[in-house]
Amino acid sequence: MSSPDAPRILVNGTECSSVDVTDRGFALGDGLFETIAIRAGAPRFWQAHAERLLDGCRRLAIPAPSIDALAHELECVRAGASSGAARITVTRGPGPRGYAPPPEPVPTRVVGFYPAATAPAHKPRFSLRWCETRLALQPALAGLKHLNRLEQVLARAEWNDPTIDEGIMLATDGRVVECVMSNLFLVVDRTLVTPALDECGVSGVMRRQVREIAMRSGIDTEVRRVEPAEVERASAVFLTNALRGIVLVECIGDLQYSRHEPVVEHLMDRLETLDG
């Protein structure tokens, strides 16, 4: 009997915990994924996750899965649980040896549900570090949540101090891009600033929500190149990701940030009231 905290997983709609070794997801990282919060018994910002997944399939020329089928499979693995995390993985499916995509790929979809108990305890403000591992500039893959994640693996392996919650990653040219598991926002002179992701980084679903809220609230927002020095002189820094929403940064190394920043408080309040 499996533990109540064990993930529940469907592979191509069937209860299963394995994929073929010839799957191009395993052989080449040839696929995409989404991490989705389950809240009040529903996937949060489902439409935005579905849109990003479809956009990724289009850019990688992977035949798109049925979003209705994915939603149905997510309901099955959720099995009535009201909160937790889901992961949907879509790969180009099995194939012969070699890089050439099969002429008629049969994509693999994996839908997994991870009960809330496995999520890390909520912490109101995060302690950050600067990572040494840098992100390569690759416009062909920028923005995608694809399965080629060795840069994040190496960056996350840089620390095991449990008091450090996240690491900021620079690109190879020194600009600030994002954190290992989150997108990054700054408040600079009451303007919301987030790094452009047209050359590297993951275009997060929660980042998009926050930008939309800021726009509707009349908060000036800039999406552009950000240098490390600008992060250090920002009046506030916060992170976004699908599971945690907005998380304020308490410190980056020795540098402390204020506990209260009106722009961030407004965004957090508005995000809480959003249906997703």
Kindly determine how many residues on this chain lie close enough to bind a second copy according to the rule CB under 8 A. 62
User: Does residue 22 bind a second copy (CB under 8 A)?
Assistant: yes
User: Does residue 198 bind a second copy (CB under 8 A)?
Assistant: no
CB of 54 to a second copy, least distance (A): 18
* One residue of 33, 45, 185, 257 binding a second copy per CB under 8 A: 33
Angle at 23 between CA 140 and CA 47, to 5 degrees: 55
Kindly give, in sequence order, each residue whose CB lies less than 8 Å from that of residue 157, ignoring residues fewer than 6 positions away: none
Kindly give, in sequence order, each residue whose CB lies less than 8 Å from that of residue 145, ignoring residues fewer than 6 positions away: 32, 33, 34, 35, 52, 56, 202, 203
* One residue of 25, 65, 93, 204 binding a second copy per CB under 8 A: 25
Of the pair 118, 258, the CB lying nearest a second copy is at 118
User: Does residue 11 bind a second copy (CB under 8 A)?
Assistant: yes
DSSP labels for 177-215? Answer: EEESSSEEEEEETTEEEEE--SSSSB--HHHHHHHHHHH
User: Does residue 162 bind a second copy (CB under 8 A)?
Assistant: no
Q: Which residue has the tokens 């089928």?
A: 69
User: Does residue 205 bind a second copy (CB under 8 A)?
Assistant: no
Kindly give, in sequence order, each residue whose CB lies less than 8 Å from that of residue 57, ignoring residues fewer than 6 positions away: 32, 63, 64, 65, 90
| Separation CA 227–CA 238 (nearest Å) | 16
* One residue of 42, 51, 127, 146 binding a second copy per CB under 8 A: 146
* One residue of 54, 64, 116, 154 binding a second copy per CB under 8 A: 154
CB of 153 to a second copy, least distance (A): 5
* One residue of 74, 170, 180, 247 binding a second copy per CB under 8 A: 180
Of the pair 89, 264, the CB lying nearest a second copy is at 89
CB of 178 to a second copy, least distance (A): 13
| Separation CA 180–CA 29 (nearest Å) | 18
| Separation CA 223–CA 249 (nearest Å) | 19
CB of 46 to a second copy, least distance (A): 19
Kindly give, in sequence order, each residue whose CB lies less than 8 Å from that of residue 68, ignoring residues fewer than 6 positions away: none
Of the pair 7, 230, the CB lying nearest a second copy is at 7
CB of 40 to a second copy, least distance (A): 21
| Separation CA 223–CA 225 (nearest Å) | 7
User: Does residue 116 bind a second copy (CB under 8 A)?
Assistant: no
Q: How many CB atoms lie within 10 A of CB 239?
A: 25
In degrees and rounded to multiples of 5, residue 111 shows phi and psi of -120, 115
* One residue of 12, 83, 127, 133 binding a second copy per CB under 8 A: 133
List residues binding a second copy (CB under 8 A).
7, 9, 11, 16-30, 33, 35, 60-61, 85, 87, 89, 92, 96-101, 103, 110, 112, 114, 118, 133-134, 136-141, 146-157, 160, 172, 180-181, 200
